Amino acid sequence: MPELPEVEVTRLSFAHQIKGAQIQSAHLGKPLRWPLGCSTSDLQGLTVKRVNRRGKYLLIEMDPSLLILHLGMSGSLRFESLNESRLNTKLHDHFVLKTNRGILTLNDPRRFGAVVFAPEFNAPIVSKLLGKLGVEPLGEDFTPLQLYKALRQRRVNIKQALLGGQIVVGVGNIYASESLFMARIRPTRSSSKITKSQCSLLHRAIRETLTRAIEVGGSTLQNFSNAMGESGYFQLESFVYARQGQPCKLCQTPIKQIVQGQRSTFFCPVCQK
């Protein structure tokens, strides 16, 4: 599943190109996770003001209306010129937004992704999808103290607390494993037992890990690419993720793999206490 860095990399790859574009038409293929919430003809004539992100959701804002996009498990966006798009129609293209500056297409083989229309930011659907999300990990509201107070209220392991999304959004499976390694915290440790000093280390590790992932284009483990078709390279720098059995880059102890909440977790049994 694309995580926050991949979604942010995708946003950055096309946001400047579609800004100010007028929507000429929209097309829906096979049904996605949720209904669009309007007729495709209702989008015609609207102007894209900007593209923002909240957690793993992309927000194509038309003021006051917006489209909320989620890439699901296997979705990806591509943005092409009008001429390029005529030549590049692909299987599993399930939402196509044609503008006078190019065509934005959601390709999603498993169809767990979504495109949802909201008439305004105060619409119930916006609150339903975004209202319970935690703070942005790269924003000012994410602080060591905020993280400490929130973790103290949880009675689950620290890895699951990070993945939940209610404390901080977008720290998915890859980046939770990497951040916990950088903070020297074992993923099985109870979140309620994390100390203030550990929270400071974890806060810094999350920020540095996500920032670096965005800088190198995210992680391409299977088929992720940004809207320009470019792959990411963070997986080449990972300390623990998907390195089970390989030596720790710091102490040479073999990296271990366990399963937590049906997700694989990777850690060093010596470096992480």
The residues carrying an active-site annotation are 2-3, 56, 263
Question: Rounded CA gap, 225 and 231, in Å?
Answer: 4
Cβ-defined contacts of 255-263 (< 8 Å, 24+):
258/187, 258/188, 260/157, 260/159, 260/160, 260/187, 260/188, 261/159, 261/160, 261/163, 263/163, 263/173
CA distances from 111 to 31, 75, 93, 224 (A): 7, 7, 10, 15
80 Cβ contact list (under 8 Å, min separation 6): 88, 102, 103, 105
- CA 217, 220, 226, 231 dihedral sign is positive
Question: Rounded CA gap, 179 and 266, in Å?
Answer: 11
184: its two tokens: 């020297």
Largest separation between any pair of C-alpha atoms in the chain: 60
